[in-house]
Structure 1
């Protein structure tokens, strides 16, 4: 095998003379230089304890000199690990997930792992397809705001280790951003400003967070004798908020609570086009405190979520599952609190509308 080395060297020199880029060295190039079998080079990287110490050091030094780096999937064949983690999000263009991706990436890199990112485009079938295609390429998955059913998530978890973000599907470990207490404070904030009737712009029908937020709003509204109208489900985008703003005005509410900041920003944009003052005529409140929420006109009152921290926690949970083996690392949730951040998009209810509704009966309704 060593006799092949001059031929490879001659081919590399010929490439250089012809101005063609030199190809990346392969495991066979390293083996030829060291006069060993390619399988010995592979073991030096994947199972170093099975290679003679002197031979192993010569192989590693030669590989470093030649610039050879073993492919992660090739290394996974003997070791059973790729050192890669899958991260699936429903909408990569949503700034909420940028913080989560950043947190997951930093936690993975610190542990020597690489993140493989996939966008399911708010579609459960696309999400399931990505899971199927990536299962052999990664050691485990973080699924953020998954749109899959509980049954499908449990089935997937039986095939590859999972951690879910903003879902609770026992026994799958999860990271939950608990917005219920902050939602209560948001309603109390609006009530303190004199608002007695407000709208909730709901998110995707399959969103677990949306259902929890709606239940919290209903509970607080009933206790406070307030009237809350549900509009949706809506796509959680700026365009979704623009489309919903006219329905908000038709409902005669004085405040809006949106499923996320993108919907709230869309409402702000449309109300501005219509000449409706915010917060003079309608107050607007979002959720997530994404990048840019404080740059709106007016700056957006919102429920701030520890998004990057959630990404780090999800990867930490997944790595603990991988370290503990098939029987460990399950039945655990990490709960992170959201907080109310008050800015200029909420203010006192209009006096005229407040007076008009003073003697009207209150109710909690849901409009789809």
Structure 2
């Protein structure tokens, strides 16, 4: 049997005419090199099949060059864009990324943190379901960045829908809607609490009646099932916690013989399913790609600095109107 011998860092450096330390920095600390040098090293590495030996480097430096990321539901369309761009940001910094799915269970999330901690330099916890006290304890032990969880003292990246939701509710009022519904998602979700609070605040400011409903699992089927209750409440416009629930609501309304948006307007949030609904879903576009990238950039900085100043990065969403929202019934077109 012929065994493949992987190229070494020395062989790659010789081919490039640079020192092995330069090759190492291109993968572990690219900011210390010219961008063209980093590109040259990585391109040649790809050509010859060179892969950095993170295990060997960890033995020498005490750093694993691995970061962990935990999400509550990888199947939810909210998380793949965050993950994709977090992974790219990690690769640009010579880091590997390990992903874990907690299934929205705080106990399982805590177990995953325990399993990952010995293997990683830091953690990105996206939409964490853990209590604040637990998060503070974790961050004291290991560099940690939160995505869509606002805990003082821990670096966090927040994608906010507040401004866009206020615009949306104001638009509903101008379009003649007098009764509004909010269909919330998982009760442990920080984003759900924020969105519910903003819809209530905006509805009150606009003088709209507001009915609150829950789809606690955040599923399409729950959105479908709650549609009848929304209709019975007399709401002519509904804001859903996310696009998945909004999709279920549209189907539920249509199954009940109602037209969207002629009889009821539907607004989603996250802007992840707009092309898969009919009519096309009005939603709030969030910078999920930026959240993933900034989370890893912030974590990468904190793993290299003993005292990192608290960072709170907030990315504002934008209201995108499509075919699922319109004027209230009887208000004219």
TM-score, normalised with respect to structure 1: 0.76
SS in 1 for 2:268: strand
- Pairing 1:308-347 to 2, within 5 Å after superposition: 308-325=289-306, 327-328=307-308, 330-347=309-326
How far 1:251 moved relative to its partner?
Answer: 1.3
Query: Residue 359 of structure 1 aligns with which residue?
Result: none
Q: Rate the CA distance shift 1:150–1:197 in 2: closer, same or farther, 3 A.
A: same
Residue by residue over 1:115-148, the C-alpha shift from the partner in whole angstroms, topping out at 9 and shown as x without a partner, is 1111111111111111100111111011111111
Structure 2: give runs of 5+ residues left out of the alignment: 11-23, 26-45
SS in 2 for 1:184: helix
Q: Rate the CA distance shift 1:70–1:283 in 2: closer, same or farther, 3 A.
A: closer
Q: Rate the CA distance shift 1:67–1:101 in 2: closer, same or farther, 3 A.
A: closer
- Quick check: 2:228–2:256 contact (8 Å CA) kept in 1? no
Residue number among 193, 197, 201 corresponding to 1:219 in the alignment: 201
CA distance in 1, matches of 2:245, 2:49: 49
Q: Rate the CA distance shift 1:322–1:123 in 2: closer, same or farther, 3 A.
A: same
Residue number among 261, 265, 278 corresponding to 1:297 in the alignment: 278
SS in 1 for 2:185: coil
CA distance in 2, matches of 1:87, 1:285: 30
Query: Residue 38 of structure 2 aligns with which residue?
Result: none
- Quick check: 2:271–2:286 contact (8 Å CA) kept in 1? yes
- Quick check: 1:91–1:120 contact (8 Å CA) kept in 2? yes
TM-score, normalised with respect to structure 2: 0.84
Q: Tell me which structure has the larger Cα radius of gyration.
A: 1
Q: Rate the CA distance shift 1:68–1:298 in 2: closer, same or farther, 3 A.
A: closer
Is 1:114 equivalent to 2:93 in the alignment?
A: no
CA distance in 1, matches of 2:277, 2:215: 24
Is 1:253 equivalent to 2:232 in the alignment?
A: no
CA RMSD of aligned residues (A): 2.6
Residue number among 45, 59, 71 corresponding to 1:89 in the alignment: 71
Structure 1: give runs of 5+ residues left out of the alignment: 1-14, 17-21, 31-44, 47-63, 355-368
How far 1:73 moved relative to its partner?
Answer: 3.5
CA distance in 1, matches of 2:56, 2:184: 46
Greater shift after overlay, 266-275 or 105-114?
266-275
Query: Residue 116 of structure 2 aligns with which residue?
Result: 134
- Quick check: 1:201–1:234 contact (8 Å CA) kept in 2? no
Residue by residue over 1:77-124, the C-alpha shift from the partner in whole angstroms, topping out at 9 and shown as x without a partner, is 332211111111111011111110111111111111111111111111
Residue by residue over 1:215-251, the C-alpha shift from the partner in whole angstroms, topping out at 9 and shown as x without a partner, is 1111111111111111115212212211221221221
- Quick check: 1:287–1:303 contact (8 Å CA) kept in 2? yes
- Pairing 1:134-153 to 2, within 5 Å after superposition: 134-153=116-135
Query: Residue 147 of structure 2 aligns with which residue?
Result: 165
Q: In the comparison of the two structures, how many residue pairs are matched?
A: 300
Query: Residue 85 of structure 2 aligns with which residue?
Result: 103
